[in-house]
Structure 1
Amino acid sequence: MKQRAVSAQVRWERHTQRPLFVLAALFAVAYAVPIVRPDTSDRVEWWCETVEWGVWGAFALDYVIRLLLAERRREFVRSHWLDLCAVVLPMIQPMRLLRLVATLLLVGQRARMASQIRLTTYVGGAVIGLLMFGSLAVLSVERDAPGGNIDTLDDAVWWSFTTMTTVGYGDHAPTTGLGRVLAVGLMLSGIALLGVVTANIAAWFIARFEKDDAEERRQTAAIAELAEEVRLLRAEVSALKSVAVEGVPEQRR
């Protein structure tokens, strides 16, 4: 029973991983259009809003199904509490802007289930996603803020890049509280991604060195074994020579 439940959950996660990534890309487009084109029509904005909440509903449904397929549901909730917060918090009206960050969290959680061989792809995707979402989010918050200096998409992308890399030139900076919260999130995300990249590069070098050391130890052991065999052969040859030398006088007698 346990094996069947676990298998059902794993199969669901494998089958829905790619469709959810496609929905996340669709969410990104729907989120970006009203920000990049603030003069767009009300109908287009309505459709974008509908797509955003439709995608959000798909992520929420995915969480509920995974919860129902899990055998130990309390343990699932405890181990996936970040997913639960990402699903619930943006549904509260004052926190609707958090759906941007929450979508990244949900996509990141599902990406972790992929093979480690694809780690570089997911890290690169996370960097691009954070840059894009961070730029759009800060632009939507800061563009109409009094005294704000992030007025265009170019300024927002530049600010996101310098913030993620923790360079912070200071030529562009958020002035609103929500903009500063986004800045903190980008800085922490940039540090985390840098840590992931650094750790995996270090792990690759360590694995490489360990492989080389293992091969060197194997070759050393083989050489030692051959040297021991050569020593034994020399001892046998010396013994045979001694016997042969001792046997010559007896034959002459």
Structure 2
Amino acid sequence: MDDDSPEARWERRTGGLLTLASLLFLAAYAVRVLAEPALPRAARAACYATMLAAWAVFAVDYAVRWRFSGRRLGFVRTHLLDTIVLVLPLLRPLRFVKTYERVQRRHGLPRLPLYGRVIVYAGTSAVLLGFSGALAVYHHEHGAPGTTMRTFGDAIWWTCSTLSTVGYGDVAPVTPVGRLIAVGMMACGLALLGAVTGSFSSWLLQVFSREDEEGPPGR
């Protein structure tokens, strides 16, 4: 049975708007970072206005859901991801995973098994987080003295090696903000890798356990 609380109804009504705002925020930030310094002043102002408007939508959504919940600080603890993306709106696209789950439930579509959902969600989160992280670190690094991240391709390469916990070290951030982003990317990479490997290991254990219970053919 679907949740009919005011907070749940609000989330169902605003899901599409928030998804659009997330896409616009990410697109505006990407244009601002990748097209600078060739970006005209009017286009730069439009990017800033789009980002600010999207953030305002996020802030209103957070405030309304906090009000509907009636839990005050309890809402912050149970909606940690929402709180983080309000402060760091570049991570807002990570909520696409939650939106996908809601759309499936609304239309009665068959859901993937638990292990499949974990892998799909982790993979989607890794792609979105990797692109957002590459934009953020490139923004702060490409013009810094002594940087090894001179192109966005370098930033993508660094992001892939960081999220996968490989860390070649040929490209590394040199600014304080870049290193702070790197710490967050390392933590997220470990969490995503742990979720996928843990889910896969659990699935293998269930398969082997089922085979042991069934026994060899013809027994």
Instruction: State yes or no: 1:100 paired with 2:90.
Output: yes
Greater relative contact order structure (CA < 8 Å, 6+ sep):
2
Q: Note the residue ranges of structure 1 that are not aligned, 5 or more in a row.
A: 90-97, 217-222, 224-253
Is contact 2:25–2:90 with CA below 8 Å preserved after alignment? no
Identity within the alignment, %: 37
The count of residues paired between Structure 1 and Structure 2 equals 206
> Residues 108, 180 of structure 1: CA spacing in aligned structure 2 closer, same or farther, 3 A cutoff?
farther
Q: 2:173 aligned with 1:183, yes or no?
A: no
Q: What SS does structure 1 have at the residue aligned with 2:146?
A: coil
Q: Letter of the aligned partner of 2:129 in structure 1?
A: L
Displacement after TM superposition at 1:7 (Å) = 2.5
Q: Which amino acid aligns with 1:84?
A: T
Please report the TM-score for the alignment, with normalisation by the length of structure 2. Answer: 0.79
Measured against aligned partners, the alpha-carbon deviations of 1:10-62 in whole angstroms (never above 9, x if no partner) come to 23223433442332122111110021111111111111111111111111111
Following superposition of structure 1 onto structure 2, how do residues 1-253 of structure 1 map, counting pairs within 5 Å? 7-38=5-36, 39-87=38-86, 89=87, 98-101=88-91, 103=92, 107=95, 110=98, 114=102, 118-209=117-208
* Residue 124 of structure 1: how far off its partner (Å): 2.0
The whole-number CA distance in structure 1 between the counterparts of 2:123 and 2:166 is 19
* Whole-Å separation in 1 of the counterparts to 2:12 and 2:211: 36
Deviations 1:148-167 (A, max 9, x none): 11111111111111111121
Residues 154 and 147 of structure 1: CA distance in aligned 2, closer, same or farther (over 3 Å): same
Aligned-partner Cα distance in 1 for 2:178–2:97: 24
Quickly say closer, same or farther: Cα 1:179–1:28, change in 2 above 3 A.
Answer: same
Report if the CA contact (8 A) 1:5-1:69 is conserved: no
The alpha-carbon distance between structure 1 residues 111 and 201, as it changes in their structure 2 partners (threshold 3 A), is: farther
What is the Cα deviation at residue 183 of structure 1? 0.9
**Which runs of 5 or more residues in structure 2 are unaligned?**
103-110
Judge conservation of contact 2:28–2:47 (CA < 8 Å) in 1: yes
